[in-house]
Amino acid sequence: MELNTQKPYCKPIGSILFVLLIIKSHLSFSQNTNDAFYVQFIDKDTSYIPTEILSKKAIDRRNKYQIQLNSTDYPVKKEYLSALSRLDSVNIRYSLKWSNGAVIESSKTFIASLDSFPFIKIIKYVGTFNTNSKREPIEFHQPILKLKVNSMETVGLNEEDYGKSYQQNKQIGILHLHNKGFNGNNVSVAVFDAGFKNITEIPGFLRHQANEKLRYGYDLVNLDNSLSDFDTHGTACASALGAYDKGKFIGSGPLAKLTLFKTENGKSEYPIEELNWCKAAEIADSLGVDIITSSLGYNQFDDHNLNYTHRQLDGHSSYISIGAKTAVSKGIIVLNSAGNQGNSEWQKIGFPADVEEVLTVGAINKNGSPARFSSKGYNANQSIKPDVVALGVRTTVASPSGFYYKGNGTSFSTPIVAGGVACLLQAFPKLSPKEINDLIRQTADQNTKPDSIIGYGVARFDIAFEYQNYLDRKTVRPHVLYSNPKEVIIFSGAAKSMDLSYYVNQKFLGFFRYRKKVGTQKGITPSTVHYIKTTLNVDNSTVKIKLFDKEGSPLKIK
């Protein structure tokens, strides 16, 4: 059921209370009612002091990016919420300040009566929920453990130290940042998922508790503070990002401070879960988080009348996409999984992966080939989606029992990338969400020819780190970076055009050295990052580079 009612003005509260009394005298609330509705109001107060509605960290983030407070930051009018709460047939689950609304519990037979309330602009049915009589206020519980050994060092680690997470971190260049001391420390990441079973009990998160790097946000499904008692999906996703279990598993951003939110109801699929996500994003913003990572997506629901279409993948048609876009506007970097419907009838990315400002992550295998299940782009506006990819086939993640297993899904490739983003933000804290996203896209290994399958390609945080350093030096000369013996990366600088020849030094019969030309590339465009793959076995050889301008004159590269 959906009601869209436009109200040109607001009647006095006294008239509203009169209507309330009439309705209340005729109808009573049924304890068996489990329908949920989104209600949007016509206006809100805007006379608030920033420190009354946002934490210092949230205000500092806005100041850093020169973001002004606007109407979306102010709370919903208390008078409207009070008016609804007086009704026996309505329970308010939570308010939504960004969209000036609320999610309420009522019945389809009663909800039409709310059309007579002059302060209500829109009413929409958003699904069902499991009634929970025990509702708890948000506590932001932070489990604390005392450990004899609680260090979380990442500099100088080897393959054995990383254990089963070595390859998935190496694939996207995470090891390079870790070795330089960038591991997500002092970066706050909110993880949205369906539950985090046993996350406080498994080895990968014991040191987090000893270092005060793990915090419960809230369970928006059951409206309580118990996030670790049901679903295992969030535990796996959080481990790919943040676990630290030296010798067995180290996540991509192991020292990031994690705040956990349960927004997804694993037992059903309705738009109310999108609104749970939006509420969690509001809370995360108020706490001052830097990054939101979400391995969730929506398009089809248990009530097919609520389904989305491909044409709505425009970044502003769904509740969750609007919420994600708003979160980015507050200075939060938002990552979301592309989805696992590449082989299904839907095939496309989901919501909010359609938002241009969101970093959407697809899946590849260990060889860099696209996963067949990974959802495809573009969005409805033809923006490149997914943005980048990481390992999502046989990815190693933690189980609630404390062991590590291999699983498939963009759910796992996304937090791996999120950890890399945390490391990058630690290294370059002044970069805005757009600048971070652009840097990651520009340095991915398919950046010059993005497509709808893997977007800009495999995320490369080692190259992103080096390229940003190159930009910060404000050099105008081309720069050549050797990431490994079989790959050459060129930062082309301010050169108008370049031609490339590259060689390897080899030995004939094991004694006589000679230089062999192994490749050329012409017409390299300026201010971009170029990947050149060598085709010979050059493990024991030295790659030599020669660059020429368009007239054929040599260019100095250092």
Same structural domain for residues 373 and 484?
no
The CATH number assigned to the domain holding 501 equals 2.60.40
Structure tokens at 314: 């425009």
Same structural domain for residues 360 and 377?
yes
Q: Given a cut of 50, is residue 217 above it in pLDDT? A: yes
| Residue range 296-320: mean pLDDT, rounded | 98
The CATH number assigned to the domain holding 395 equals 3.40.50.200
Structure tokens at 458: 């495999």
Mean predicted lDDT score pLDDT of the chain: 90
Q: Given a cut of 50, is residue 151 above it in pLDDT? A: yes
What integer pLDDT is reported at residue 8 of this predicted model?
A: 29
194 pLDDT band, cuts 50/70/90, is: very high
Crossing angle for the helix pair 433-443 and 410-427, to the nearest 10 degrees: 110
Domain-ending residue, one of 72, 101, 128: 128
| Residue 79 to residues 41, 113, 123, 520, Cα–Cα distance (Å) | 11, 18, 18, 70
Whether residue 377 lies inside any domain: the answer is yes
Same structural domain for residues 348 and 417?
yes
Whether residue 142 lies inside any domain: the answer is no
Same structural domain for residues 343 and 221?
yes
**In this predicted structure, which of 210-219, 332-341, 375-384, 549-558 has the lowest mean pLDDT?**
549-558
| Residue 282 to residues 106, 141, 261, 290, Cα–Cα distance (Å) | 24, 18, 11, 13
Q: Given a cut of 70, is residue 537 above it in pLDDT? A: no
Q: Tell me the per-residue pLDDT of 66-115, one tens digit each, with 9 for 90 and over.
A: 999 999 999 999 999 999 999 999 999 999 999 999 999 999 999 999 99
Same structural domain for residues 498 and 403?
no
Same structural domain for residues 294 and 417?
yes
CA dihedral of 227, 244, 459, 504, whole degrees rounded to 10:
-170
What integer pLDDT is reported at residue 196 of this predicted model?
A: 98
Whether residue 12 lies inside any domain: the answer is yes
| Residue range 144-148: mean pLDDT, rounded | 94
Structural domains in the chain (count) = 3
Structure tokens at 384: 């490149």
With residue 274 as reference, give the H or E element that holds it. helix 272-287
Whether residue 140 lies inside any domain: the answer is no
Residue at token pair 């000036």: 100
Residue type at 37?
A: F
Q: Given a cut of 60, is residue 202 above it in pLDDT? A: yes
Structure tokens at 205: 């998160």
Same structural domain for residues 535 and 429?
no
Q: Tell me the per-residue pLDDT of 427-458, one tens digit each, with 9 for 90 and over.
A: 999 999 999 999 999 999 999 999 999 999 99
Whether residue 452 lies inside any domain: the answer is yes
State if pTM tops 0.75.
yes
Greater confidence (253 vs 493) lies with: 253
Whether residue 226 lies inside any domain: the answer is yes
Neighbours of 257 (CB within 10 A): 23
Q: Tell me the per-residue pLDDT of 49-67, one tens digit each, with 9 for 90 and over.
A: 999 899 999 999 999 999 9
Whether residue 150 lies inside any domain: the answer is no
Same structural domain for residues 299 and 330?
yes
Q: Given a cut of 90, is residue 515 above it in pLDDT? A: no
Same structural domain for residues 317 and 345?
yes
Domain assignment of residue 14, given as a range:
2-128
Whether residue 152 lies inside any domain: the answer is no
Same structural domain for residues 330 and 435?
yes
3-state DSSP of 295-313: CCCECCCCCHHHCCCHHHC
Same structural domain for residues 178 and 62?
no
Same structural domain for residues 311 and 361?
yes
Q: Given a cut of 70, is residue 12 above it in pLDDT? A: no
